[in-house]
Amino acid sequence: MKTAAPATGGLVLLLGILLLLGGCASTGDPHADFEDSTGSLGDSAQPNTGAGDIYVKLAVAYFQNGQMNVALQQAKKAVRIDPGSTDAHNTIALIYARLGELGLADHHFRTGIEADPRNPNIHNAYGAFLCQQGRYEEAEQEFVNALKNPLYQTPELAYTNAAVCTSRQGSEARSEAYLRKALQTNPVFAPALLQMAKLSLTQGDLGNARNYLQRFAGVAPHNAESLWVGIQIERALGDLDRAASYLLQLRSGFPDSPEARLAREPEVR
């Protein structure tokens, strides 16, 4: 009998804004006809030397600090100074997405991809954006596009996002395949471990669900989502003491979270 899957959870996507500073500005590729999938990641020139790069960095810093108004101002400066910068368009797209300006976000994602079609970071970010909008098939294609670049430094991000997105489509098999690829790439990638715990729980494979959650806890601090997963696993296994321990951590550490509200509801039997 399958156990109910957690009601919350999401993509590892906007974490990717940290990777923008390791991205690459667009440069001309005289050998494009040979289908070199490495793009500007394979160029010998140092990336991020464009005129607007300082404003990209400032926008990212303000974004991380929650100062969205200033972040947007800096991102607009970056785009104005260097309209061909993929990093600038990726940054402003992420900011617009956070602000709910979805049309503008979509526009800047597309513009950034046009500037550097082989940049995996913006494909991953755009895929996550599309998945959030329920455009699942388009989103999966963007993750695939990101993974085409053999120099992509963090493919586990795109694999895990593809897993989340295909799971939302109801395809457990494809989701599991993506997660296994993520963990083959990076066995200690916490978001993939948590997603595998959730998937195993959904499939009723409680032993594996517990193992994946323990592996997650070995590399990352618990959050509301992981604690809620732990509660469900241990309740299903009949270990009420361990379930109570997770519940205490959830209520004390994340009292206002949706997971804490779910945990207060009577358990469905």
CA distance 133 to 161: 14
Tens of pLDDT along 201-221? 999 999 999 999 999 999 999
Q: What is the mean pLDDT of residues 189-199?
A: 97
pLDDT of residue 265: 75
- What pTM was computed for the model? 0.83
Q: How many CA atoms lie within 13 A of 14 on its CB side?
A: 15
Residue that the structure tokens 């200690």 belong to: 188
CA distance 192 to 159: 9
Cα angle at 160 between 125 and 194, to 5 degrees?
Answer: 125
Domain ranges across the chain: 1-153
pLDDT of residue 51: 76
Q: How many CA atoms lie within 13 A of 5 on its CB side?
A: 17
Q: What is the mean pLDDT of residues 62-71?
A: 95
The pLDDT-based confidence of 52 (bands split at 50, 70, 90) is: confident
Q: State which CATH number among 3.40.50.300, 1.20.58.740, 2.40.160.20, 1.25.40.10 fits the domain covering 1-153.
A: 1.25.40.10
What are 164's two structure tokens?
A: 């989340």
pLDDT of residue 49: 60
CA dist 32 → 50, 152, 177, 187 (Å): 22, 18, 31, 34
pLDDT of residue 87: 94
Tens of pLDDT along 99-126? 999 999 999 999 999 999 999 999 999 9
R_g (Cα) of the chain, nearest Å:
20
pLDDT of residue 28: 36
Looking at residue 216, its amino acid is F
Longest dimension (CA), the chain: 64
pLDDT at 48 over 60: no
